[in-house]
Structure 1
Amino acid sequence: MAILQWQFTMSLDGFMAGPGGDMSWVQGLPAADKEVAETRESTGALLVGNRTFRGDDPYAENPEEGEAYGGGWHGTQFVLTHHSPSTPVPGVTFVNDLHAGVAAAKAAAGDKHVGVLGANVARQCLEAGILDEILMFLAPVLLGDGVRVFDHPGGSLVRLERVPTASSSPMYHRLRVVR
């Protein structure tokens, strides 16, 4: 069965996007190329938040931005939203229910992972007790402002444990949600 895995890059000060959704800061960072390639290959479907899908990044039209894993991933995306577009988007299914979206994404992923993209949808998965893992690439930058990785005032403690990997990259961290 597919693992529901929140996948993101984070600045040292805890942001996954800069002000206004800016993702230009990830360009030119030292890359964990082997680990990114492995993530791309092990991901069978995506569960994406509406803001992430619609691209709040002011630089989203830049050819190096706006696509999962730098454009190297191809597969089915499930976008969690209450505002589906009137025109179909190839390879994208719009869902308005978290559990139905997760079930459909897991079915599409088969024995691969479902990559969760977006802080809000990941928080919803954590709150529902259905997120299995977190896969984080830690970037050696300080943004100072932007979209926090996890911002849930009054939320409860979420315990994590490290998943052993063969990676020696200090940027790559795989964590299991302890239930």
Structure 2
Amino acid sequence: MATVTANMSMSLDGFVSHPTDGVATLFGWYSRGEVPVETVEDRVELKTSAEEAAALEDAKTSLGVIVYGRRTFDDADGWNGTHPLGVPVVVLTHSIPEGWPREGSSVHFVTEGGIEGALAEARELAGDKTIAVGSADLTQQALNAGLLDELTVDLVAAMLGEGIRFFDHLKGTPYELRQTWVRPGNGVVHLGYQVVKP
């Protein structure tokens, strides 16, 4: 069965987005290196350290689908129908946006069943590959529902002071995590954890 993981770039003070800066500061590490990382049609230019580039290429190979919320979909303008990493996307939303779904798009919408419904759709699309949850709110919902297997954090050397927190509204805490790896980067430390389930 597919592994469900969540990944976000997060500031030292726990934020994944700022009200005016958005994710610009947090995503800076994607362009601080010398090694280019390919994206679909080179729509996004990524240049990281050699080690980070190798890790991103491995992630692209193992990734089956990404699950996002409607806010991320809107902010990304639907990725023009195809995510830069070339994998299918499941968007959990109350209503399907006007003009969607689009022919030839790899974006799928789930309007019922909450996070459980979104992950069920993701499992159909991912097969044995990894399912990545790419929003703070959905990560919190998956943790609260006991549906998250792994958690990876790109801990950025910055403090935002305000914005959207990665780990708000958690229920059933404390959660126990087992650290599986640590990898230093350029202005960022990459952390991997396994979620210990009761």
TM-score greater than 0.5 by the shorter chain: yes
Structure-2 residue corresponding to 1:35: 55
In structure 2, the residue corresponding to 1:111 is in which secondary structure?
coil
- Please give the alpha-carbon distance, in whole angstroms, between the structure 2 residues aligned to 1:175 and 1:21: 28
1:114 matched to 2:131: yes
Structure-2 residue corresponding to 1:176: 194
* Residues 120-129 or 148-157, more deviating: 148-157
- Please give the alpha-carbon distance, in whole angstroms, between the structure 2 residues aligned to 1:129 and 1:153: 11
Report deviation, 1:20: 4.7
Q: Could you state the TM-score of these two structures normalised by the residue count of structure 2?
A: 0.75
1:160 matched to 2:161: no
Which residue identity is paired with 1:81? T
CA RMSD of aligned residues (A): 2.4
Report deviation, 1:41: 2.3
Report deviation, 1:18: 1.3
The C-alpha deviation readout for 1:35-82, integer Å capped at 9, x for no partner, is 223222221101111112211xxxx68xxxx86xxx640121110111
In structure 2, the residue corresponding to 1:34 is in which secondary structure?
helix
Structure-2 residue corresponding to 1:94: 109
The C-alpha deviation readout for 1:118-146, integer Å capped at 9, x for no partner, is 11111111111111110111111111111
Describe the shift of the 1:28–1:6 C-alpha distance in structure 2 as closer, same or farther (beyond 3 A). closer
Q: Structure 2, unaligned stretches of length 5 or more? A: 33-47
Q: Could you state the TM-score of these two structures normalised by the residue count of structure 1?
A: 0.82
Report deviation, 1:101: 1.6
The answer on whether the counterparts of 1:21 and 1:146 sit within 8 Å (CA) in structure 2 is no
Identity of aligned residues (%): 32
In structure 2, the residue corresponding to 1:121 is in which secondary structure?
helix
Which residue identity is paired with 1:176? Q
Structure-1 residue corresponding to 2:44: none
The answer on whether the counterparts of 1:35 and 1:172 sit within 8 Å (CA) in structure 2 is no
Structure-2 residue corresponding to 1:138: 155
Which residue identity is paired with 1:44? G
Larger radius of gyration: 2
The answer on whether the counterparts of 1:7 and 1:117 sit within 8 Å (CA) in structure 2 is yes
Report deviation, 1:106: 1.4
Report deviation, 1:168: 5.5
In structure 1, the residue corresponding to 2:138 is in which secondary structure?
helix
1:74 matched to 2:86: yes
Report deviation, 1:34: 2.5
The answer on whether the counterparts of 1:21 and 1:147 sit within 8 Å (CA) in structure 2 is no
Which residue identity is paired with 1:145? E
Structure-2 residue corresponding to 1:84: 96
The answer on whether the counterparts of 2:68 and 2:138 sit within 8 Å (CA) in structure 1 is yes
Describe the shift of the 1:72–1:94 C-alpha distance in structure 2 as closer, same or farther (beyond 3 A). closer
Instruction: Tell which has more relative contact order, 1 or 2 (C-alpha 8 A, sep 6+).
Output: 1
